[in-house]
Structure 1
Amino acid sequence: MRTHRKIFCLRCLKILSVLSGLLALCYACLPKPDLLPPDLEYSRTVLDRDGHVIFLTTTSDGMLRLPATLGQIAPEMLEATLEMEDRRFFSHPGVDGRSLLRAGWGVLSGKKLGGGSTLTMQLSRLRWGLQTRSAWGKCVQMFRAIQLERHYSKKEIAAAYFTIAPYGGNVEGVRAASFRWCGKDASELTRREAASLSAIPQSPTARRPRTAGNALLAVAQARLMTRLRANHGESPNELDGEFNLVPNAIPREAPHLARRRLREDHGSLTVTTSLDLTQQHVVEQSIRDFLSRWNSKGLRNASAILLHAPTGEIRASVGSADFHNVDISGQVDGTRAPRSPGSTLKPFIYALALDAGLIQPQTLLDDAPRRFAGYNPENSDHQFLGPIAASEALRRSRNIPAIELANRLPGGGLESFLRSSGVNLPQRSLGLALAIGATEMRLEDLAKLYAELAHPAQGRLSPEACWLTLDALRCEEPAAPIGLSCKTGTSNGFRDAWACGVMGDWVICVWVGHFNGRGMPGLFAHETAAPLLWQTVTRLKLTARPSEESRPPDVVRVPVCAVSGDLAGTLCSNRRDGWFIGGVSPITTCKVHQKSGDAVVEVWPADRLEQFRNAGFPRANSRQPVDEGPHRTNTIASPPRIVSPQSALTYYIQENAPQQNRLLLEANSGPDTRQIHWFADRRYLGASAPAEPLSWEPIVGDYEVQAMDDAGRVSSTHISVRLAVGNR
């Protein structure tokens, strides 16, 4: 009897051993599935410079879903979820026998003793979309759970659950839920928030957070908090049931920049920017406050960009006053929309001229009527100030001096500089009108140009020229922040008003106007864009080192004549300090003050004397008039100055189009000149009054054009005339 029993036991052991071996073999041979659905689509995120999510998209099916790792989730969330769903998660093989027995006894006894599903089983149901109310469905669920546990670690399984668990509405995954229901990153969740979120997946529809609160969620989270407190040896707190999760706005900061970065980096789920969210909010609020004051006058839109010059990083970018406002075309990105820049390009003309040694800050420039090869520009106020210091001409945004300087710049001048800076300009040549904004430019490109003035690290502009340019642009208005250098610009037709400022390492540029191009008569930049700039800089609390501390060593202070702007000579009694770039700036000693017997007289070229007179303050009526005292103003017998045609240029004519082939001859001269006689290679062409053009119809060839005044004073220039391409 005992022998038979022993044989039976041995056989049973062998069968069990074989079965165990087969089970072990089957377990070992379980194929490795994907932990998550292979076609699972995620929301995309845009981060600020500190790694915070500032923009979150929905998937193509309208879901908010973000991949998660345990490192991205607060420990409180993992603790609360395991307490709610699976206390022995780290010890079972995917199926918890004790939980299944407890759940089964609950069904038989009619008592609610909790479910038997583990966290891995719940992941399996979500992963494969299983129906688990039937016995077969539950068996498949357990098999899938064991299969997952065979190939993945507990941390990987938990992370997958936190990626696709339902948290109410269109929210899946704890990271998306944290943004939607708590308004923060999942790594920042508190214990109460974690408990409330952990209660949602058991009944995501019924327990979805609502603005007015959700009683079912409150009861569930209170029970869970009581258990969590007990685990930590704490007493229950009646306030645990009063805590409410409410819907929060989906992160959609800096929508224009965020959407652009998502388009540019379309292959990445996470896109990082250099935005500083605090500075972004300051700039946005500044624009809102500014427009609230101007709304009654019809001004409703503005854009702004803040750059950190040493790094070139965009720290704030506001494309429009309201992204969602259809009436102002709010979804247009004003930082990228091409607009006419007005006078905001003038500082670069002066910086290039300083670098080329054409001027120093006190060099006198002519603010007088000029003609440039048929181009007859004017100042915005339709007035002329006569001879004016270069720095003052820049500060007062005079058009004629800027155009004349642009005409003298070497190496392609302003246009070449802009193209080499990456500014998107038309292929055709833009000519001298570019100096006063006759093109279109993006606010972002303009800010990058000003960053070169603030931090000239690329070698295209010298630190000395940049410092002198910014020094000339120091804001002197009482409302302007101390240390700010700024330049405004108003486009033709009052369609655009700009203001660009440099404050230490920071560059901020603003634009105000209308995206539809509607002009606002009287929309002057110094009255609109400039105050917005000043207000924004003040609120950002930007600072700059004192000007003297940032001055390059090659910028030296020298005495200059306050009258002529040149280096002060021994006869110059009225002096002032001026800045020069050592080895670059033109070193010309004042020739205006000359000795005449025992007296010192002012001797001006005839055209300059005429400019003073036309500007309303003739030198003869200065502090020491000609007829009083030893000082008097004389004129230099100078020849006419040819304005048109310009030297060394090639002019093109059309065949069989005589009316289009006329070239205007024009020269300026002194007040004693009545007529100017014109010659081409000594062939007489005719006479005209000073500053009045004479029309000439040339033929193909090379010419020496001469202008002679009544006194026989002659000036000349050389030009070429060629047949236009396509007419040969």
Structure 2
Amino acid sequence: MKLSRRGLRWALAALLGALLIADRLAPPPLPGRDTARAQVVLARDGTPLRAFPDRSHVWRHPLRLDEVSPRYVDAVLAYEDRFFYWHFGINPVALLRAAGQWLWHGRIVSGGSTLTMQVARLLEPVPRTPAGKLRQMLRAVQLELRLSKREILELYLSYAPMGGVLEGVEAASRAYLGKPAASLSHGDAALLAVLPQAPSRLRPDRYPAAARAARDKVLDRLIPRWGAATVADARQEAVIAQTVREPLLAPLFAERVRKLHPGVARIETTLDAATQNSVEQLLGSRLGVLPPRVSMAALVVDNATLEVRAYAGSADFSDNQRFAHVDMVLGRRSPGSTLKPFLYGLAFDEGLIHSESLLSDVPQSFGGYQPGNFQASFSGPVGVTEALQRSLNVPAVEVLDRLGPQRFVGLLRAGGLKLDLPRDAQPNLSVILGGVAVSLEDLVGAYTAFARGGVAGRPRYTTTSPVEERRMLSEGAAFIIRDLLEAGGPVGRQVEAGVGVRRGIAWKTGTSFGFRDAWAIGVSDRHTVGVWVGRPDGTPNPGFFGANIAAPLLVDIFSAIEAPGRVDRPPPASVSQARICWPLGLRSADTPAELCHQERSAWLLNGAAPPTFPDRLRSGAARYTDYRDASSGLRVRAACASGEMLAVDMARWPAALEPWLDATTRSRALPPPWSAECGQAQAPGDGLKIVGVARGETIRRAAGGAAPLLRLEARGSRQSLIWLVDGRQVGRTAPGKALQQRFAEPGRHTITVMDDSGRYDRVEISVQ
């Protein structure tokens, strides 16, 4: 007896060992990382953005048990396997019942399969033969040994056939019912629970009557669990299914993150489905007014987390004429003027400017580089606020010339903004006007610094993406630049009574050379939004610039995703407000009244009020002492004065700005004429004279009303000459050459001529 018991124990041990070895040698085909599988990219709330089928073109949305309505789990277990949590993969009672039905009816009435056995068949299809059933049973036991009941149930929820190319309850719920599996009603749950039994014959989109009859059969089994009243209500639900369509929201974004996560069946992203849908609709609404091959891109980032909420890489994913599959969120293009806020912010941090530093918006040559403004006109003296808000080019180049192009590019790169220069090129002054290449993604990430205390960040596409941050600007500089763009600084707050503040958006537009790229980047308390419009192949679009094509779309996106307005932000401790004086640029409190020609209210960083930049055209200090004859008040020098001299303190404006000064400022800024005894001395503009047109002359139209054509000529300079009419540049002539200019508009006109040394002359005429 002892030997037989010992032998039995050894036999059982040997059998168990053999089973374990067999299990290791032939494990069940569980889905692995290297297994070719369908992939689905999800929004942050679980909404499918895009499904990528497997090699069999199956749409599958893998999901977790807690993401499915408990009603569906109830229905599945009640209909498929009531003893799922009690058996070890095989239910002997169910198998015996199935065998008896087969013998009695002569055909298979029920298969006796447990839910685990069905999962085994889904993972490894086998023929419906006794040998196939045995293999299926063995695989079910293997699954029970390896996986928990929850994991087995989740495999069923993800792989159950649902008709056509659909697998899993989430794919079926989204495709047929247009809702997530977490929101299934009682009737929905019963309908989808029975569908795997005959997915081809019970598809609710094709056979609603058959699907309803099968659903009601499941509901009958659920009366003990749900109650008769609930089941009766569920029976009243109509079986209406929508046409099965592949989810296609943020398609280029989904393609991008799928490539970043190869082999991952379920990719959860940071996109907000509602925000994405709003952005795509806004882009679509503009297609009718755009030329056929023009595309658009938009990116929305949450400032607090750097998570991307909306991503539109092209205007219309279905329109190949618009380069549908070219992702312009990643495209590297000329940024136009969108780098100007960073230039002024970095100049603040370098102690070069305050918000009302005097700049010269006049024709200037910077070592041969002669920038012009977008409208080809000039404004004369402007402050930093006006220069930034109006996106004036010449003042920006003036500031960059002081900061240094190489340092500017280096600081931007240190702050995380990637810049591409032409091959073998070094940073130069053209950088600030778009002479580099950036992507919309990098530009939006950099702009988040204006809402995050000067710290820029890289946009994040999944919650597991690391937070990558770099300091771009000081907190104070970021506050000032954002306030200048949003509210116009202290002056704008006073004049507009805070209209800009209530709007709550600070934005900047940009247009690249030749109208190739139109940009608008905006920042609010919650979001940073970027918009690009253009042709991906770089073809120009005349008349398309940031202000008229990109900015309206930007504002509409903000209006769609958040309510207007915000709580007023107090300035950081490093920012203060002070009155300053032009032309010296110093505090009013530190400037004598006679040297303060114009007073302005400005933001200061760290209490510093840097002086106006040194004059580029004229040497000498901005503050100097002039001498007058005591009796006549005319200008004199010691060498030629015949009477008593009076010393007068003077503040000198940059020479290039003197032609733009109004009469009141000119009377204070410029010294009086020289006395007769000092007649050899000359004022800065005395050597250059306009000839052929007299001051105050009236020009009349010829017979027939044709606009008069004037021949403009100047003498007294050997340099090239810049001609302006009413502050707008109309031409440039070589020394001794004349300019033909037609005056179509009646009224008074101001003609100004300048050379690169700052000498000028000006006449006013009247056209009738």
TM-score, scaled to structure 1: 0.76
The C-alpha deviation readout for 1:289-331, integer Å capped at 9, x for no partner, is 3445x34x76853211122334333222211221221111112
Separation (CA, whole Å) in 2 of partners of 1:582 and 1:442: 33
Asked if 1:341 corresponds to 2:330, the answer is no
Q: What is the 5 A alignment of 1:33-48?
A: 34-37=27-30, 40-48=35-43
Is the alpha carbon distance of 1:138 and 1:524 closer, same or farther for their aligned partners in structure 2, counting shifts above 3 Å? closer
Q: Where in structure 2 are the equivalents of 1:104-119 lying within 5 Å? A: 104-110=99-105, 114-119=110-115
Deviates more, 1:391-400 or 1:64-73: 64-73
Match of 2:580 in 1: 560
The structural deviation recorded for 1:139 is 4.0
| 1:429 equivalenced with 2:426 (yes/no) | yes
Q: Match of 1:370, SS?
A: coil
Which SS does the other structure have where 1:473 is aligned? helix
Match of 1:653 in 2: none
Q: Aligned residue for 2:355?
A: 361
Task: Quote the residue 2:538 is aligned against.
Answer: 517
Q: Deviations over 1:349-404 (max 9, x none)?
A: 11122221222122211122222222222222222222221221121111111111
1:188-234 Cα offsets, whole Å, 9 max, x none, are 43332221112122112222332x55322221111111221344331
Q: Distance in 1 between matches of 2:300 and 2:96?
A: 64
Which amino acid is 2:532 matched to?
A: W
Looking at structure 1, the residues matched to 579 and 316 of structure 2 have their Cα atoms a distance apart, in angstroms, of: 52
Q: Superposition pairs for residues 278-427 of structure 1, below 5 Å?
A: 278-292=274-288, 294-295=289-290, 301-410=295-404, 412-420=406-414, 421-426=416-421
For the 8 Å contact 1:494–1:522, the answer to whether it is kept is yes
| AA in 1 matched with 2:671 | N
> In 1, are the aligned partners of 2:581 and 2:600 still within 8 Å (CA)?
yes
Choose from 96, 103, 110 the match for 2:91: 96
Counterparts of 2:536 and 2:178, CA distance in 1: 33
Give the deviation of 1:499 after TM superposition.
1.2
Shift of 1:633: 3.7
1:84 matched to 2:130: no
Residue equivalent to 2:167: 172
CA distance in 2, matches of 1:344, 1:167: 51
CA distance in 1, matches of 2:284, 2:238: 37
State yes or no: 1:582 paired with 2:606: yes
Quote the offset at 1:601 in angstroms.
9.1
Alpha-carbon distance, 1:442 to partner: 0.9
Aligned in 2, Cα 1:253/1:113: closer, same or farther, shift over 3 Å?
same
Deviation (angstroms), 1:278? 2.7
Q: Is the 8 A contact 1:493 1:519 kept in 2?
A: yes
Q: 1:531: which partner in 2?
A: 552
Mean Cα deviation higher: 565-574 or 346-355: 565-574
Residue type at the aligned position of 2:29: L
CA contact (8 A) 1:42 1:64 kept: no
Q: What is the distance in 1 between the residues matched to 2:369 and 2:183?
A: 64
- Quote the Cα distance in structure 2 between the aligned partners of 1:636 and 1:389: 30
Distance 1:262 1:148, change over 3 A: closer
- Secondary structure of 2:196's partner? coil
Question: Residue 412 of structure 1: SS of its match in structure 2?
Answer: helix
Alpha-carbon contact 2:343-2:400 (below 8 Å) kept = yes
Change (3 A) 1:26 1:247: farther
Cα contact 1:305–1:316 (8 A) shared by 2 = yes
> Which amino acid letter does the alignment assign opposite residue 36 of structure 1?
P
Equivalent residue in structure 2 for 1:260, among 252, 256, 265: 256
Contact 2:622–2:653 (8 Å) recurs in 1: no
Residue-by-residue CA offset, 1:51-80 (whole Å, 9 max, x unaligned): 554333211331123545544433322221
Q: Aligned with 1:251: secondary structure?
A: coil
Could you give the per-residue CA deviations for residues 491-537 of structure 1, whole angstroms, max 9, x where no partner exists? 22222211111222432121122223333322232122112122221
- 1:471–1:67: structure 2 CA closer, same or farther, 3 Å change rule? closer
> Kindly tell me: are residues 592 and 367 of structure 1, through their superposed partners in 2, closer, same or farther at Cα, counting changes over 3 Å?
farther
Normalising by structure 2, we get a TM-score of: 0.72
2:623/2:650 contact within 8 Å kept: yes
- Structure 1 residues 532-557: Cα deviation after superposition (integer angstroms, max 9, x where no partner): 1222212222556555x331222222
Offset, 1:99: 2.9
Change over 3 Å in CA distance of 1:373–1:538 after alignment to 2: same
Q: Provide the C-alpha distance between the structure 2 equivalents of 1:543 and 1:595, rounded to a whole number of angstroms.
A: 58
Counterpart position of 1:641 = none
Residue 606 (structure 2) pairs with residue 611 (structure 1): no
Separation (CA, whole Å) in 2 of partners of 1:351 and 1:152: 58
- Which secondary structure does the structure 1 equivalent of 2:197 belong to? coil
Distance 1:157 1:369, change over 3 A: closer
Is the deviation greater in 414-423 or in 528-537?
A: 414-423
1:552–1:83 Cα change, 3 Å = same
Task: Summarize the alignment of residues 237-248 of structure 1 with structure 2, pairs less than 5 Å apart.
Answer: 237=232, 239-240=235-236, 242-248=238-244
Deviations 1:543-587 (A, max 9, x none): 56555x331222222122366654223424853422222344315
State the match for 1:445 in structure 2: 442
Aligned-partner Cα distance in 1 for 2:419–2:326: 18
SS for the counterpart of 1:575 is strand
Q: Of the candidates 222, 225, 228, which is equivalent to residue 219 of structure 2? A: 225
Return the alpha-carbon distance in structure 1 between the equivalents of residues 307 and 63 of structure 2: 29
Separation in 2, partners of 1:314, 1:636: 65
Aligned to 1:713: none
Check if 1:671 corresponds to 2:696: no
Q: Percent identity?
A: 32
CA deviation after TM superposition for structure 1 residue 86, in Å: 2.4
Q: Retained in 1: the 8 A contact 2:585–2:611?
A: no
Contact 2:187–2:235 under 8 Å retained in 1: no
Q: Provide the rounded CA distance (Å) in 1 between the counterparts of 2:523 and 2:137.
A: 66
SS in 2 for 1:201: helix
Aligned residues: 630
CA contact (8 A) 1:363 1:389 kept: yes
In structure 2, the CA distance between the partners of 1:570 and 1:193, relative to structure 1 (3 Å rule), is same
Task: Choose from 476, 479, 485 the match for 1:464.
Answer: 476
Distance 1:242 1:465, change over 3 A: closer
From the superposition, tell whether residues 162 and 433 of structure 1 become closer, same or farther in structure 2 (CA, over 3 Å).
same
Distance verdict in 2 for CA 1:17–1:505, change over 3 Å: same
Query: Mind listing any 5+ residue stretches in structure 2 that lack a counterpart?
Result: 456-469, 489-495, 613-620, 634-646, 675-682, 690-715, 722-732, 736-755, 760-768
**Structure 2 CA distance for partners of 1:363 and 1:269, relative to 1, 3 Å:** same
1:632–1:59 CA distance, 2 compared to 1 (3 A)? closer
Amino acid at match of 1:360: H
Once superposed, what is the RMSD of the aligned Cα atoms? 4.0
| Partner Cα distance (1:463, 1:451) in 2 | 12
Contact 1:46 1:270 in 2 (8 A): yes
